[in-house]
Structure 1
């Protein structure tokens, strides 16, 4: 039988910094056009995984491919296939919001950069601030602009590292809608998050990364099967993702630096 196509394939990834083992054999697959959430606490290794997959960091061991390109031997092809939004907004504060978007569209050699910029400004509710320098933006506005910039070019795979960190509830929901639209249009999205409700709202599959390993990986429904439902006055209560997360990582876990 032919191997099932995957947008992202990770096998046995390991990464250490001195004596600190950040990744200790990470395995997962991401199907094309799906939203995959890598869920974990601070220091779990989520950003390290994203950096390896986006060719910013070399793994010590293991293999990974993105869009059928090996991240170690075909790095240029991988970079042409992805967009990345890191934890901190990578915007030019001297330029206006619109100028930032136009610049990225021109760098990607796209037609009508102005129209692309205006469309994204509308989608992220930044039209009124389009001609203001980014140095005058709030933290949430910069984050929305950063995510908008990552969407330019219609890359088949997008990495969103803590995409809604620091955003207010309204902005978070707006980003969620955009992520769902991307997947609906066929884009593969890998997002890292420590927000349980974010993973629950967005992800087709959720993998919990803990102490450098994937300890569970499945759909929300599959993860809920890990804990039995509680019966309260004869009403069945399904476990929440928070309860599942705390149960699988355990209460007596060692702390990492």
Structure 2
């Protein structure tokens, strides 16, 4: 597998993953969206289909890691060369940022309508018509479209939740569906992994929104901070380390557990 294969596959695959995953969050969240208030089940299945589509597109090119936690787990397991890890991670981050920008472009009118709606602004402001950064410094009214956040802010619990959920994901990937060269998902593996993601969302997603993927959270959070969204509020950088550290620990633990129990 060449460096160009890794770059192209991971960038495009992760971009599609975030476009469809962030897209369902936008559809459920934003006013004047036909899917507004569709609920948690719609979000979990939307993210599952996002994983399926991204993995199917990239599987034959780069192995469809699409997630630094998966890359780390595969490197520890032995299916990915450590020398390829930085390129995988950089490509995934770039793809995640591209996907987040595409979500913004797709829902451009809905973002503007939502962020200028007086009912929305009252819920996030000290003064009508403006987001009060001092009153709501952690998360703006559309941050959930781009990145995750906890229902109860407890760093130990939040990290542990992400670790547990990511171990389930990466261990499921490592124990099935690897392609012929042992470096990523095959077609059947993509389908099974998508269903695992749905299961994780339904069962383990309630506390933190189940990032289970550092670039899924970091890339769109960076885009949220940079986009010219009116009254967008904060990007909650104080929490941003949790969905990075937790999944990376989970991916490493899954790789080690696979070598101990399954190899």
Instruction: Give the TM-score normalised by structure 1.
Output: 0.29
Q: Which has the higher contact order (CA 8 A, sep 6+)?
A: 2
Q: Which has the higher helix share?
A: 2
Q: Which has the higher strand share?
A: 1
Which protein has the larger Cα radius of gyration, Structure 1 or Structure 2? 1
